[in-house]
């Protein structure tokens, strides 16, 4: 098999789970700036958005023509023609079902079906090739999607030398709502109280659902770092160190805490546009929601997500 694991070497993967707009791209880039670590962005979108739709890699090149990913695919799974790509997209769609994931998780099982094994082997060959091509010992996957994390958890249970660490990334629900609110109102106008309450319910449902699935996923992960976006921004060195320690090694350098604009070194798949560069990135909390989120949306989201806000007021490290 291509991209076979060299004897005595671990394949270390850090998987970020949680809701969209939670700060996972910032975490991904910060970790990727550390020695021996490579960030891959929302890796689960490699087949569809990356290869099929030709979204740009973090380096700026269309992903199918990116020299890094071209070498990774050649080293790992080998040539991927249109028919094989279509099959990979279909297989992933079946595995990415939240309904299937929640049902399996509540039953307390994360077993691979015979039909899943071929896809998992292809995925494993890509991760191994990323490590070999990049020379980095830790791979960051900020896909966030819990069903994708479940695939990794199943792989970690049966593959010797695969060390998997999950980071459950949580951001205040009002901050997530404001991030989405800016996009929705730009497209459809501000509206009035009824529309804002509907938006609050929609934002809250997505936040609760994603974090509920992440909580279920922690049951099957060997180790989980539970991290609030706000805490990462206040003390990035502390939390990056905790994550790298859980992942099996690595150190945080002071100069890496300021993200310099150098897109050519990033090879991220999909994700927040900040991954494409365009200026230095200052690590600071975006708390604009406290002043700019309409009161109706803020009150609605607070009420709908109150149990989660209380639960996530403090977070830490869980070793399995």
301-315 residue pLDDT tens? 999 999 999 988 865
Give per-residue pLDDT as tens, 61-117.
999 999 999 999 999 998 888 899 999 999 988 888 899 899 989 988 877 777 788
Query: Given a cut of 70, is residue 27 above it in pLDDT?
Result: yes
Residue 144: both structure tokens together = 């966030």
Angle (CA) 299-302-303 rounded to 5° is 85
DSSP assigned state of 223: E
Asked if 144 and 16 touch (Cβ cutoff 8 Å), the reply is yes
Question: How far is 315 from 308, CA to CA, in rounded Å?
Answer: 12
Tell me yes or no: is domain 11-171+220-285 CATH 3.40.50: yes
Q: Which structure tokens are listed for 282?
A: 């200052």
Q: What is the pTM of this model?
A: 0.89
**164 pLDDT above the threshold of 90:** yes
CA R_g for the chain? 19
Distance CA(98)–CA(197), nearest Å, equals 26
Query: Domain extents for the chain?
Result: 11-171+220-285
8 A C-beta contact, residue 144 and residue 22: yes
Provide mean pLDDT across the span 162-167. Answer: 95
Q: pLDDT tens, 250-263? A: 778 776 676 655 55
Give the angle 49-121-48 at the CA atoms, nearest 5°.
10
Structure-block tokens of residue 269: 């798949």
């Amino acid at each position: 098999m291509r991209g076979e694991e060299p004897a005595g070497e671990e394949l270390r993967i850090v998987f970020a789970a949680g809701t969209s707009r939670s700060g996972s791209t910032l975490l991904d880039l910060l970790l990727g700036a550390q020695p021996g670590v490579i960030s891959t962005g929302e890796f689960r979108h490699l087949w569809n958005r990356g290869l099929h739709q030709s979204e740009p890699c973090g380096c700026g090149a269309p992903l199918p023509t990116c020299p890094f990913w071209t070498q990774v695919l050649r080293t790992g799974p080998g040539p991927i023609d249109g028919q094989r790509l279509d099959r990979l997209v279909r297989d992933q769609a079946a595995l990415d079902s939240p309904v299937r994931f929640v049902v399996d998780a509540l039953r307390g099982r994360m077993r691979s079906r015979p039909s899943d094994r071929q896809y998992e082997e292809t995925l494993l060959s890509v991760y191994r090739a990323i490590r070999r091509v990049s020379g980095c010992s830790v791979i960051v996957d900020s896909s966030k999607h819990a069903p994708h994390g479940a695939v990794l958890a199943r792989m970690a249970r049966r593959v010797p030398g695969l060390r998997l660490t999950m980071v459950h990334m949580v951001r205040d629900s009002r901050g997530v709502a404001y991030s989405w609110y800016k996009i929705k109102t730009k497209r459809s106008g501000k509206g009035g109280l009824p529309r804002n309450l509907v938006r609050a319910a929609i934002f809250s449902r997505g936040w609760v659902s994603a974090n509920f699935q992440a909580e279920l996923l922690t049951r099957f992960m060997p180790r989980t770092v539970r991290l609030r976006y706000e805490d990462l921004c206040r003390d990035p060195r502390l939390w990056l160190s905790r994550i790298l320690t859980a992942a099996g090694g690595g150190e945080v350098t002071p100069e890496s805490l300021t993200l310099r604009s150098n897109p050519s070194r990033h090879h991220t798949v999909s994700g927040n546009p900040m991954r494409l560069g365009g200026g230095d990135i200052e690590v600071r909390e975006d708390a604009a929601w406290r002043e700019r989120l309409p009161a109706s949306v803020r009150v609605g989201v607070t009420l709908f997500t109150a149990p989660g806000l209380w639960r996530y007021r403090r977070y830490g490290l869980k070793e399995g």
